[in-house]
Amino acid sequence: MKLIWVLVLVVCYNGVCLNGVTTNVTTRPPFVNIGALLSYNSTIGKVAKVAIQAAVDDVNSDPSVLGGTKLRLQMQNTNNSGFLGIVESLKFMETDTVAIIGPQSSVTAHVISFVANELQVPLLSYSSTDPTLSSLQFPYFIMTSRNDLYQMAAIAEIVDYYGWREVIAIYGDDDYGRNGIAALSDKLAERRCKISYKAPLTPTATQQEITDLLVEVALTESRILVVHTFSSWGPVVFSVAQHLGMMGPGYVWIATNWLSTLLETDYLSSDTLDDIQGVLTLRMYTPDSELKRKFRSRWSNLTRGTTGYGLNPIGLSTYGLYAYDTVWLLARAINAFLDQGGNISFSTESRLAKLREGSLHLDAMNIFNGGELLRENILQANMTGVTGQLKFNPDGNLINPAYEVINVIGNGIRKIGYWTNYSGLSVVPPGTLYSNPPNRSSSSQNLYSVLWPGQTAQKPRGWVFPNNGRHLRIGVPNRVSYRDFVSQVPGTDMFTGYCIDVFTAAINLLPYAVPYKLIPYGDGINNPSCTELVRLITAGVYDAAIGDIAIITNRTRMADFTQPYIESGLVVVAPVKKMNSSAWSFLKPFTRQMWGVTALFFIIVGAVVWILEHRLNDDFRGPPRRQLITILWFSFSTWFFAHRENTISTLGRFVLIIWLFVVLIINSSYTASLTSILTVQQLTSPIKGIDSLISSKDPIGYQQGSFTRDYLINELGIHKSRLISLKMPEDYAKALKDGPHKGGVAAVVDERAYLELFLSNQCEFSIVGREFTKNGWGFAFPRDSPLAVDLSTAILKLSENGDLQRIHDKWLMRSACSSQGAKFEVDRLDLRSFWGLYLICGIACLLALFLYFLKMVRQFSRHYSSELDSSGRGSTSARLQTFLSFVDEKEQEVKSRSKRRQLEMASNRNESMDNYSSKRRHIESPPDGSPQASNEA
């Protein structure tokens, strides 16, 4: 019986009482299998091998990380072979591996990721940074370092920061290279930059293949070269470039982070360092921390016996840091997985059962049942490692991407700034930037100075004219009329004219040679369309177009233009005739409205002064007829400052001073305008400008082949039946002389430059109205052409040093007509120019009248109110009649009468008081003479 109870207690102890403990022991295995795919002899692989092993050792030596479970690591060497990488990864799938660190190559990662998706085994890669390895297509591929998408964004910002627009991409022709350059192209396009030439190399390129490729690159125009390749043959590119003279002044070389990795890992020879002087490269930014310093101090012990380049010890690269953190990231995710009750178990794939008969034993691969949970724990990780904070954003990329921008100088490197996805380029460390609001303004983008290839500190231009023997094909309008601007020399391929001289002078100012060939455009019979010529640039027929090409909206949509070298808006030319002086010329300085308002103010001011002076000044009193004459005479005599009447009142003088100021200005303006009318030759035309031309129904002439026709129809709404095409200047003259009634035109609309040349010997015509469009002439180039920018600078220099004006005078400054002293019509003075003066004068008059009225009311109420009340004349009409009589009276009479009234009132008060006193004395005296009679009574 006791034996039975002992057995029950044992069962209870092992199965019931300690159920939780036994479960915990069984679900947390002693070992977890992880794999690593490396290329031991590669720059990245030999560093990662040491770092991964060190991380596994550190994790296994710390029981608190996995709670007693240890990582069992199995490494496989792919020997830089994509095929071996695939084979080795499949072997891991047969050995109950829960996760694989790697693969090292992005090419291999693309293939293995499909297998990982099916078997649900997470891939954690610290070096496969292909931007297309997205979390959407490959959810089990997890990038534990920086995505190359950010690196390409940094390069695009560097290109834009220095003002370059085109780059050449040299890259390995595999998935990693092509996808990286595709990302670069997208980032450049966001900043209106582009890759002008792609130079792919095979992953096993030889030195001869590299040489042939760089020879082709040297013949292109861009001098900004981005090298996105492998560290195995990347230095050969620079060695060949040095041999070909492509590492000298004028070139810019930007290498992706393969170069910084090579500089960190291996000791480079002096020859190799000489080849890369002035090169810019990027390095993944890892903030300085105590963990990072401790790991670096251990590195020499960890790599003892391991050599890199030659017999030199291997250095620690940022990829080594990320490889170390990847193991810790995986270990913490596995620990969380086990804490959540995750079970490390595998199940067979039914679709692989059919492969059992094969010799490859692919049916041995199993599905990791806890793969999805482990993947979620990896992506939810938030830890701090030797590379800083490790946390994933919703896209599956590490947060806070940042790079160091490095310039290779001498035997080392110089950090010239940082790039972050937060604030762009800056010389401030990213840790400081993240504590401030993001600032992407152009003024905040900064880098330290750079020593460029060729040991020069001056920023390279970034491009030269291509040295491949090809000449620029430049289209030139083969004009029939106005050949002073551009014309072909008969029997030759040469051109002359104002536009040609400007182009030649600008080309000569460029700091490099520009071979070109001028090609005529047009049949030589009719003037060609410059809009069609510009369109042929976009079609690739011409590389540029020069000549009398107006810069208008629809042309700027097709091409880029230089700085305008001549202003030439649309104007109207019409016949004019001399306008002789007449007997009524003295009325012309003012418009009718101006004359009317001026005369009205003469009367108003005279009336106001009369009102203000009437009660005080004898000059403004008398019979009504005399007063009316005084008003008119006084106001009009102020025009000549000959008024004889003096003003006495303060308000009257105030109004008169302001009015005399107005008269002074009007008188001076009238005198100046009349002098101009009588001394300067005046011209007149029935057409006043484009507005009167639009409102009429007369025909309008325009130059054949010009954009003027489309502008008049589309922009101004003129019917095309009114437009007549004219070819030669002689046709202009004949059509204008005939006029609209004899088959000619009422006016010609054309660009000012043409019409000024036409009018130089056509004195009976003139430009009427104002210029109603603003544009100029420029040279056209394809979109984003650097030559357009350089020629614009050259044109500005021509303008500043006076050469542009000298070329203009040479071709366009000849005139048989003398227009000195001639003026088109009369500049009549309008009320708009003087309404401010009249407004001031009117306000002064109203203010004076208002104050005068208040004064009269006050005096009237003081002198007449009591009199009207006592006499019973308190009605409104009576008061108004009395008030008007009061206003008409002279002020001295009012004051005298008021004084007499006051004296009479005073005497009346005295008599009343005397009568009252005597009467009181009589009452107080008793009849019998007794003084007490009154009291007794």
Please list, residue by residue across 826-848, b when 16 or more beta carbons sit within 10 angstroms of its beta carbon and e when fewer do: beebebeebeebbeebbebbeeb
What value does the mean pLDDT take over residues 677-704? 78
As a whole number of angstroms, the distance between CA 547 and CA 529 comes to 12
271, 202: one domain = yes
Q: Are 131 and 160 in contact (CB under 8 A)?
A: no
Q: What is the DSSP letter of 470?
A: P
| Domain residue limits at 418 | 148-289+401-444
Note the pLDDT tens digit of each residue in 824-864: 555 567 777 777 878 888 888 888 888 877 877 777 676 66
As a whole number of angstroms, the distance between CA 520 and CA 518 comes to 7
Residue listed under structure tokens 């008060």:
909
What value does the mean pLDDT take over residues 392-418? 93
What value does the mean pLDDT take over residues 318-337? 95
Higher pLDDT residue, 688 or 823? Answer: 688
Q: Are 82 and 100 in contact (CB under 8 A)?
A: no
pLDDT of residue 286: 94
Helices (H), 638-719: 650-679, 690-695, 708-714
Q: pLDDT tier at 389 (50, 70, 90 boundaries)?
A: very high
What value does the mean pLDDT take over residues 910-929? 57
502, 637: one domain = no
607, 658: one domain = yes
Average pLDDT of the chain is 82
Token pair recorded at residue 222: 């861009």
**Domain with 742 in it: what CATH number?**
3.40.190.10
In the Cβ-directed half-sphere of 595, how many Cα atoms lie within 13 Å? 8
What angle is formed at CA 716 by the lines to CA 715 and CA 717, rounded to 5 degrees?
A: 100
Note the pLDDT tens digit of each residue in 161-179: 998 989 999 999 988 999 9
As a whole number of angstroms, the distance between CA 894 and CA 860 comes to 10
Q: Are 717 and 746 in contact (CB under 8 A)?
A: no
As a whole number of angstroms, the distance between CA 96 and CA 297 comes to 36
pLDDT of residue 882: 65
Compute the CA torsion angle 227, 228, 231, 233 (nearest 10 deg): -60
Nearby residues of 852 by Cβ (< 8 Å), 6 or more positions away: 611, 612, 651
In the Cβ-directed half-sphere of 48, how many Cα atoms lie within 13 Å? 29
Q: Are 124 and 105 in contact (CB under 8 A)?
A: no
Lowest mean pLDDT among 59-73, 169-183, 256-270, 845-859: 845-859
160, 278: one domain = yes
For residue 781, list its beta bridge partners: 560
Q: pLDDT tier at 5 (50, 70, 90 boundaries)?
A: very low
Angle in degrees, 0-180, between the axes of helices 650-679 and 835-863, rounded to the nearest 10: 160
Higher pLDDT residue, 913 or 162? Answer: 162
What's the structural domain count of the chain? 5
901 inside domain: no
Q: pLDDT tier at 769 (50, 70, 90 boundaries)?
A: confident
pLDDT of residue 533: 95
457 inside domain: no
50, 132: one domain = yes
Q: Are 199 and 213 in contact (CB under 8 A)?
A: yes
pLDDT of residue 671: 79
As a whole number of angstroms, the distance between CA 870 and CA 881 comes to 17
824 inside domain: no
Helices (H), 381-438: 430-433
Note the pLDDT tens digit of each residue in 345-362: 888 766 655 555 555 555
49 inside domain: yes
* SS3 label, residue 488: strand
Per-residue pLDDT at 10 exceeds 60: no
838 inside domain: no
136, 165: one domain = no
As a whole number of angstroms, the distance between CA 264 and CA 280 comes to 15
pLDDT of residue 819: 47
Q: pLDDT tier at 410 (50, 70, 90 boundaries)?
A: confident
As a whole number of angstroms, the distance between CA 212 and CA 929 comes to 161
As a whole number of angstroms, the distance between CA 94 and CA 465 comes to 59
**Domain with 375 in it: what CATH number?**
3.40.50.2300
As a whole number of angstroms, the distance between CA 563 and CA 779 comes to 8
155, 128: one domain = no
Q: What is the DSSP letter of 13?
A: I
Q: pLDDT tier at 935 (50, 70, 90 boundaries)?
A: very low
Per-residue pLDDT at 67 exceeds 90: no
pLDDT of residue 652: 75
Burial of 466 (0-12, 13-18, 19+ CB in 10 A): middle
485 inside domain: yes
272, 183: one domain = yes
As a whole number of angstroms, the distance between CA 485 and CA 497 comes to 5
In the Cβ-directed half-sphere of 350, how many Cα atoms lie within 13 Å? 0
Helices (H), 197-317: 207-218, 234-243, 258-265, 270-275, 290-302
What angle is formed at CA 659 by the lines to CA 585 and CA 604, rounded to 5 degrees?
A: 85
> Which one-letter amino acid corresponds to residue 466?
P
75, 187: one domain = no
Per-residue pLDDT at 866 exceeds 60: no
52 inside domain: yes
pLDDT of residue 17: 39
**pTM exceeds cut of 0.85:** no
In the Cβ-directed half-sphere of 135, how many Cα atoms lie within 13 Å? 16
pLDDT of residue 387: 94
* SS3 label, residue 590: strand
216, 320: one domain = no
As a whole number of angstroms, the distance between CA 892 and CA 614 comes to 12
Q: pLDDT tier at 199 (50, 70, 90 boundaries)?
A: very high
Residue listed under structure tokens 């949970």:
373
Preceding amide of 103 cis, omega within 30? yes
pLDDT of residue 181: 95
> Which one-letter amino acid corresponds to residue 564?
P
Q: Are 829 and 591 in contact (CB under 8 A)?
A: yes
Per-residue pLDDT at 16 exceeds 50: no
159, 273: one domain = yes
pLDDT of residue 894: 59
Per-residue pLDDT at 4 exceeds 50: no
Rg (CA), the chain: 50
* SS3 label, residue 517: strand
Token pair recorded at residue 845: 């008059």
665 inside domain: yes
Give which of 642, 739, 625 is closest to 687, Cα–Cα. Answer: 739
What value does the mean pLDDT take over residues 439-463? 89
Largest CA distance in the chain: 176
Query: Of the residues 565, 593, 617, which one is the last residue of a structural domain?
Result: 565
Note the pLDDT tens digit of each residue in 465-520: 776 667 889 999 999 999 999 999 988 889 999 999 999 999 999 877 788 999 99
pLDDT of residue 649: 77
201, 243: one domain = yes
For residue 756, CA distances in Å to 568, 588, 762, 773 come to 10, 30, 10, 16
